[in-house]
A and B are shown apart, each in its own frame.
Chain A
């Protein structure tokens, strides 16, 4: 038993000796800050080193894409090169933080561009100037020189993620309807481009009207509506091969398609005998399931990120409103109750919000609300704003805005989910119906 006593006593002694100093300490002064500033973070992009066959002009192209991404997000502010004290031309030289601190840079990006034949190697590092520490790992991207823009976007993504803690959206695509010609005889073509408008490529000719394209979860396919047969029908197209197929050849109009998060199903509207309901189709088998019923027009379905629910618009209550139902149909629950009409709901990739179009007092708005309909916020207002689509990180919404009058044209815009940073997106022609892809891999 003595052994037991010893264990108890030694244990007790050890425990008390550990806690004694803690208990003896006095608490330091505590200051609580509940307000700060929200302003673009000042960042400096040091002159990248040009290695191998790369020229300074080539380096400038790359760095300008990086800075355009970051500044374009509205979250960062560039400190112009003319203000730089330190050139930092050698990528591997230690950073003179004092030189960057004096120009009030919060973060510093250094890098190098190395061309070897047709191979491009990009390296970069990110630093916290005030803490005088690197932020995360340095990264190297290697690809053919033709992919330089994507590599620059990758660097922007890495910087954005590291500084905000959120996933980014720069290395992504947007598919939209390119529009040309007078309003009453508009030529519409399915077009794909980088998120910033670069690298545009037509996917269809202008013979048929096309509408509402949407990306598959793996970004390899697009589902869209086409009047190829005279009536609107949903088609599935491979982005690389441009091979397409009619999704459902049964009578009736099909439109407003969208992929399920797992890419196995497509949910869409089908109008038959004057009644519009929502259906889901299993891509592998073609099996079709009706999800809504009744005399109302149910359309614009969009899955929740977990695939369990669908948000859609319906006029079953007498006016267009937003409803949520189970992914298998049934139990629709109205979530929009504000004045006016609501349509084109899209579930955020984060799952916490729903973007929508609202028509109120003769004006169109793009807005967001929580999935229970609370905390509705209108982000835009114009003659015609419509068709919101979320960035891959759920931080930005792209939509199209059409100007009034017979000469009115649609343009694609983007806005931060807070309502800040509204700006036009460059497109080849005029653009409408944008759909954002997920982050590319």
Chain B
């Protein structure tokens, strides 16, 4: 028990440590320092004068954005953001009256999020949901349940051979292993009545009697069992998952056309050409008509200088290039794509 407590204590300490020290590092927003450095310096009077005429206008976008709310609830937080940002700017400007331009100059940050509530956002989300819907309908068609049941029955049969009480089979797969181990030790004496004369059973009894050894064996066995159970469960899950219809790969010509198309749309940002540290990978999901279902996702592991601009240029490229003219019968092949944009081979002239 002491070792267990120690391990448990150490593990918890590490986890707590990661939570305290690790989380802020990984979650830090790189843009924040820049934003802070250029924070508003507008005086409260000026800002009041400025915003007094703007407030009614700021409210205008809200009803426009709220329209899609019944369909999608997600955009709501985005719409609500601008108002608190305005307030923060006022306080910043009051607390930090630095004059970067000259003694009379001030630089300030605006509540630019107001325009983030532009109507197109919710429209995109709506389309996502509409596209995702078919996935759910596909699942029942695959009917993976019979195979799962069969495997489970097999497991139960095996367990019944090893352990007489069938009640244990009711438990979940992972717990069966642990509880089975406990039941084994309890049930062994009762199982010795018939096969006493059998040498194999005697061996079992002997092994059980030597408690420390048994426990050591149990540890390794249990871990093995757990792994085996997990693998079995994974296999079951694989069987449960609906198999995607097999789609033919794109021909070289089709792939080449796609590459040429994106090339024309990719305006390489200045300073990034001939730079291998700014290779960008964007993930895109396409609908059957070749249009993007959602915003391209930045999959690049790099985080160097200019990566934001590299991603934005890549995003513009894939957005500008849509709709992609690809063979519909190979939709499953190109439905999801990863596009790697590598400016390192572009020669600086």
Q: Which residues of A contact B (CB under 8 A)?
A: 1-10, 12-13, 16-17, 20, 23-24, 26-39, 41, 51, 75, 90-95, 97, 106, 114, 116, 119, 121, 123, 125, 127-128, 130-144, 147, 150-151, 154, 162-166, 395, 418-420, 440-441
Contact = CB atoms under 8 A, between A and B. Distances in A.
A30 B118 contact: no
B283 interface: yes
29 contacts: A1-B4, A7-B4, A9-B178, A12-B230, A13-B174, A13-B226, A16-B230, A29-B334, A30-B337, A30-B338, A31-B340, A33-B259, A33-B341, A35-B263, A36-B346, A37-B268, A93-B57, A95-B118, A131-B312, A131-B315, A132-B118, A138-B110, A140-B110, A141-B101, A144-B105, A163-B309, A164-B271, A165-B307, A441-B100
Interface string B112-136: 1111111111000000000000000
B137 interface: no
Contacts of A119: 46
Chain B: interface size category:
35 or more
B109 to A, nearest CB: 5
Nearest to B57: A92
B267 A38 contact: yes
Nearest to B53: A51
A5 B315 contact: no
Contact of B101 (A4, A38, A150): A150
A240 to B, nearest CB: 11
Contacts of A138: 109-112, 115
Contacts of A139: 38, 107-110
Smallest CB-CB A-B distances: 3 pairs: A138-B112, A138-B110, A36-B266
B316 A142 contact: no
Contacts of A6: 178
B309 A164 contact: yes
A36 B46 contact: no
A92 B114 contact: yes
B345 interface: yes
B288 interface: no
B102 interface: yes
B267 A36 contact: yes
Interface in B322-342: 333-342
B157 interface: no
B178 A24 contact: no
B57 A140 contact: no
Given A9-B226, A142-B41, A130 B4 contact: no
Pick the most buried of B249, B263, B269: most chain A CB atoms within 10 A of its CB.
Answer: B269
Given A51-B53, A132-B120, A33 B349 contact: no
Interface in B38-76: 38, 40-42, 46, 49-50, 53-54, 57-58, 60-61, 64
A41 B114 CA distance: 25
Given A7-B7, A125-B110, 9 more contacts: A3-B1, A3-B4, A5-B222, A28-B338, A33-B266, A94-B117, A94-B119, A142-B46, A150-B102
